[in-house]
Amino acid sequence: MFETVDPNAPATLALIGALGSAVVLLDAQGVVQALSPAMNALIPALDQGRQLTLVMRDPDLIGAMEQVSSQGGRRVIELVERVPVERTFRIHIAALRTAGGRRSLLLTFEDLSEQRVTERMRVDFVANASHELRTPLASLLGFVETLQGPARNDAGARDRFLTIMREQGLRMARLVDDLLSLSRIELRAHLAPETPVDLAGISREIVDSLTLMARERNVNLRLSLPEQPVKVAGDRDELLRLMENLVENAIKYGRRDGEVAIDVIDGATEASVSVRDDGPGIAPEHLPRLTERFYRVDTAASREAGGTGLGLAIVKHIVLRHRGRLTIESLLGQGATFKAIFPRLGPAPRSPS
């Protein structure tokens, strides 16, 4: 059954424009006649006078629209968009008949992205935490039982075991902190940051904070910056975390007594920051998997350095949330370069005269 409406009537357009929900009205050819501000914010590429299927090419959506247009009634479908980030919509499609007998469609969108990510996060957190916490917890329990039994009166063993127990406790704390950080970033992955942030200033701040760590390994931090601020739309705390993870990894896994080079590059449409070490490098077969959760090239070396196996996964998700991309280049014996590239904010930098 069709509802009757005049899609071109001022009252209809005003009503849709005033709705708080994400709603779009299409004519018989699927061209947008009106859309609410919430709809425009949800899918910015969609605009009045544009065909919906040119913006959203999903076959299930197109099929459902054709069915409702020809048969009338209503349909509800779920649509998952994979790029630029994964988003899930529940779409209500209703048929309308105009006063002239032509058919129109009214689509209402519900954004389920945060709900779906939250559900997945709960499952992933339990699985990852239980797997990674099992070993340090077993170690702690073993040391406690030893201290309560054979080593009860052994002062030397007690001090040694307490030192190891503290290290295991700190490792678990770092792991939980990284898991929570990753979950928070994933939860907001569909919301691109909009605040102007200076990549150069963030890089300078991180180099200053990690100078002591670099000095302990006799690593020289070399920072190269443009003269002007390098602005991107970003979340300052997340970009600080990204830079900290990249520079800290380069210090830990690069060559002792070596150099870590941090370069901030300002381009016409993109800005980037690269971190290069002169360590042993990474074999080609490992490169595609480096940003997976808990993937380690050398598990023993990673744990000895205090790594949780989540640092590069956090970096990848921060880059994706900022609508950027991450590249990794490495050759055995020639170090590794990690480069985060972001859309530039504002006018292109002036070329030197």
Residue 2's pLDDT is what? 42
The whole-angstrom separation of Cα 280 and Cα 295 is 18
Residue 85's pLDDT is what? 73
The whole-angstrom separation of Cα 322 and Cα 243 is 14
Residue 297's pLDDT is what? 76
Closest CA to 108 of 173, 169, 25, 45: 25
Asked if the 192-343 domain carries CATH number 3.30.565.10, the reply is yes
Residue 119's pLDDT is what? 76
Residue 310's pLDDT is what? 85
Residue 207's pLDDT is what? 94
Domain boundary assignment for the chain: 10-111, 192-343
Q: What string of H, E and C letters represents the secondary structure of the chain? A: CCEECCCCCHHHHHHHHHCCCEEEEECCCCEEEEECHHHHHHCCCCCCCCEHHHHCCCHHHHHHHHHHHHHCCEEEEEEEECCCCCEEEEEEEEEEECCCCCEEEEEEEEECHHHHHHHHHHHHHHHHHHHHHHHHHHHHHHHHHHHHCCCCCCHHHHHHHHHHHHHHHHHHHHHHHHHHHHHHHHHCCCCCCCCEEEHHHHHHHHHHHCHHHHHHCCCEEEEECCCCCCEEECCHHHHHHHHHHHHHHHHHHCCCCCEEEEEEEECCCEEEEEEEECCCCCCHHHHHHCCCCCCCCCHHHHHHCCCCCCHHHHHHHHHHHCCCEEEEEECCCCCEEEEEEEEECCCCCCCCC
Question: What's the CATH number for 10-111?
Answer: 3.30.450.20
The whole-angstrom separation of Cα 255 and Cα 245 is 17
Residue by residue, pLDDT tens for the chain (353 residues) are: 445 455 555 656 677 777 778 999 888 888 998 888 899 888 888 888 898 888 888 899 999 998 888 888 889 999 888 777 778 899 999 988 765 556 788 999 998 887 877 777 677 767 767 777 777 788 888 888 888 888 788 888 888 888 888 888 888 888 888 888 888 888 788 788 989 999 999 999 999 999 999 999 999 999 999 989 999 999 999 999 999 999 999 999 888 889 999 999 998 899 999 999 998 999 888 888 888 877 777 755 555 655 677 889 999 999 999 999 999 999 888 899 999 999 998 765 665 55
